[in-house]
Amino acid sequence: MILLAMFILLLIVGMPLSFSLLLTGLGYFTLSEHIPILVGVQRIVAASQSFPLLAIPFFILAGQVMNKSGITRRLISFSNLLVAWITGGLAHVTIVLSALMGGVSGSAIADAAMQSRILGKPMIDSGFSNGFSSAIIAISALITATLPPSIGLILYGFVGNVSIGKLFIAGIVPVAYY
């Protein structure tokens, strides 16, 4: 009960959620009689020292570099060149762009956010309804999670103690093991 009150108080004061969770977690180890506080600190440090999990901030960095350098606009132009001539071309551009961005950003949520910001308004202006535009963007972003490298594959490999390299190969060429 004390930890819940501490968490809510930290949120009311305006502490960011991540720090509120961190301080409440450390409060658990402080208030616990059987677990030393050093165990909590060791767990936090051990989680941050994971080599496979270093890929996640680098995916975020790659997305920011792509947006700032104009690579994202070039990928949109390339996708537009490939499929814009088809009826409903902008919807097809969204799907092709998701496939291209999936190999770079690795995050379906980041892909959907980027596409909704860049392609949402042009899709509506070209005559697509709000629901159709948002559905195409959301569904096409799901392809990002299946194309390697993706954050989902890295996290699954890390948590399940599965070879991340084999997961990437399975994402490219599905192989059945008997």
On the question of pLDDT at 178 being above 50, the answer is no
Mean local confidence (pLDDT), 123-147: 86
Over the chain, what is the mean pLDDT?
81
pLDDT of residue 5: 93
Q: Domain extents for the chain?
A: 2-49, 53-146
Mean pLDDT value across residues 111-116 = 81
Which segment, 52-56, 137-141, 174-178, is predicted with the most confidence on average? 137-141
Q: What's the whole-number mean pLDDT along residues 17-44?
A: 82
All residues at 6 or more sequence positions from 155 whose CB lies less than 8 Å from its CB, including other chains: 53, 56
Q: Dump the DSSP string for 62-106.
A: HHHHHHHHTHHHHHHHHHHHHHTTSTTHHHHHHHHHHHHHHHHH-
Better pLDDT: 174 or 139: 139
pTM of the predicted model as reported, rounded to 2 decimal places: 0.60
Smallest CA-to-CA distance from 59 within 145, 175, 1 is with 145
Residues 6+ apart with CB under 8 A from 109: 141
Q: Which of 6-10, 59-63, 93-97, 122-126 has the highest mean pLDDT?
A: 6-10
**Model confidence band, residue 8 (pLDDT cutoffs 50, 70, 90):** very high
Count H helices and E strands in the chain, helices first: 11, 0
